[in-house]
Amino acid sequence: MSLIVQKFGGSSVSDAEGVKRVARRIVEAKNQGHDVVVVVSAMGDTTDELLDLAAEVNNGAQASRELDMLLTAGERISMSVLAIAIHGLGATAQSFTGSQAGIITDGVHGSARLVEVHPDRIRESLDAGNIAIVAGFQGMNRQTRDITTLGRGGSDTTAVALASALGADFCEIYSDVDGVFTADPRIVNTAHKLNEVSSEEMLEMAANGAKILHLRCVEYARRFKIKLHVRSSFSDLEGTWVIPNSTDADADGHDLTKEIPLEQPLISGVAHDRTQAKITVVDVPDVPGYASKIFGSLNDAKINLDMIVQNVSTRSEARTDISFTLPQDQGDEALEVLEKVQDDIGFASIEYNDAIGKLSLVGAGMKSNPGVSFQFFDALSKAGVNIDMISTSEIRISVITRADLLDQAVRAVHTAFNLDSETEATVYGGTGR
Ligand code: ASP
Ligand code: MG
């Protein structure tokens, strides 16, 4: 008998009908003879609604411990409602909070990291013949004995962590689209579903705005060699397999590399991100030590930097501009930090812009195809999109554009690399919130 971990996102369980549909699907897997562990997110947009509620009662800084208590309530509702729906179908299910399921984290509220996973109670529940349902996105810290959350979208990570700890062969991630697409089907309706993608490429896509999988879920799956099957809870179609591309074998001695096609397609997709802002520090003295002072102060404030660009100074007075991108919600904090060090460092001014978008082209095949960058910039130029910043990795090229040109840029690049399909992609549910 095999053990399956199935994770259902909020849009799959947005109302009673959705919960019943998902419950039928789970019972079907159980009736096929599998042990089934289910990880569930909060129903629909519950998490956002709870955050709105907190902001209504206090529009200042909210205590992160209390926010975690509040948000974890969302998953408590969905897990128990799902168990009740399964009972209605004549099967038995037991729901568990993250701490009951042995998800132990560090103490960082709002973005806790997993420290240990001890799913003893889940094992016992399965051995007693139950379907085990676990609240996603939450855990507990042993030192503080407080409840924590793993960060937005963290249920994917709960699922893969349980799959690994319970020795599941793979982990199914159910959402409201048929799998991983070559671009967000909400923007490019001719995007096509990938049958497989390497975890290396999936990491780049998730890190650059693809919301289909939580970044840490992909990292975890890659590290512990768990295959992910991303699929829709609204259809029976085969989804996308995310395959760890390590040369090592998995726990059963099964050579994972054999499952990767020998000739990978050139490009696996176009990701976009609208959550970044750009800061330019103007007229920084172009002598050793100044970049270190700027980034040192940002580091002390735990600002998450992404792209960084500095030009050689062409002006005689040896001054240069340094630009970088960061999450919009850290913008105010970063500006404050820089204003404090302005006199000491002696730069002229700071510019802030959050009307930007980031577009990334991802594909393992670009390593050995030097023509990709030209084709990429050519597509953007023909679409009339101006480029603000550029960064690359071995398998990715990213640019910053104006926010209002981002969708059009994504479509142009998608078309230029022949990624368009003849048929329209289906988006089954979700508000995209
Ligand atoms: N409910 C949480 C969120 O909306 C966790 C998740 O959906 O994975 O971010
Ligand atoms: Mg959610």
C-alpha to C-alpha distance for 314 and 310, rounded to whole angstroms: 12
Nearest listed ligand to the Cα of residue 137: 1
In this prediction, residue 69 carries a pLDDT of: 98
Contact predicate 310/291, CB 8 Å: yes
CA of 420 to the centre of ligand 1 (A): 30
- Identify which of 68, 152, 431 to mutate to test ligand 1's pocket (most ligand atoms within 8 A of the CB): 152
In this prediction, residue 427 carries a pLDDT of: 83
For 167-289, where are the alpha helices, taking DSSP H only? 199-207, 215-223
CA of 156 to the centre of ligand 2 (A): 10
197-214 pLDDT tens trace: 999 999 999 999 998 999
| Phi, then psi, of 272 in degrees rounded to 5 | -140, 160
CA of 57 to the centre of ligand 1 (A): 22
Ligand 1 site residues (CB inside 6 A) read 9-10, 41-42, 47, 74, 136-137, 152-155
The two tokens of residue 179 are 């799998």
Instruction: With H, G, I as helix, E, B as strand and everything else as coil, classify residue 221.
Output: helix
CA-proximal residue: ligand 1, atom 9 (nearest): 152
In this prediction, residue 369 carries a pLDDT of: 83
Q: What average pLDDT does range 73-77 have in this prediction?
A: 98
Q: Which atom of ligand 1 is nearest to the CA of 9?
A: 7
Average pLDDT across the chain, whole number? 92
In this prediction, residue 248 carries a pLDDT of: 44
Phi/psi region, residue 18 (left: phi>0; alpha: psi -120 to 50; beta: rest), is: alpha
CA of 307 to the centre of ligand 2 (A): 27
C-alpha to C-alpha distance for 282 and 345, rounded to whole angstroms: 11
The two tokens of residue 58 are 């206090």
- Identify which of 12, 50, 137 to mutate to test ligand 1's pocket (most ligand atoms within 8 A of the CB): 137
Q: How far does Cα 433 stand from its chain's mean position?
A: 14
Residues paired with 232 in a beta bridge: 175
- Prediction pTM value: 0.89
Residue 368: pLDDT band by 50, 70, 90 thresholds?
A: confident
319-351 pLDDT tens trace: 899 999 999 999 999 999 999 999 999 999 999
In this prediction, residue 27 carries a pLDDT of: 98
C-alpha to C-alpha distance for 250 and 224, rounded to whole angstroms: 8
CA-to-CA separations, 204 to 6, 12, 325, 432, in angstroms, rounded:
24, 25, 17, 21
Q: Nearest Cα to 100, choosing from 82, 84, 76?
A: 76
In this prediction, residue 292 carries a pLDDT of: 93
CA of 13 to the centre of ligand 2 (A): 10
CA-proximal residue: ligand 1, atom 6 (nearest): 153
Nearest listed ligand to the Cα of residue 430: 2
For the stretch 333-363, what's the b/e string if a residue is b when 16 or more beta carbons lie within 10 angstroms of its beta carbon?
ebeebbeebeeebebeeeeebbebbbbbbbb
Between 212 and 246, name the one with better pLDDT.
212
CA angle 276, 346, 277 (to 5 degrees): 5
Contact predicate 295/305, CB 8 Å: yes
Q: Which atom of ligand 1 is nearest to the CA of 155?
A: 8
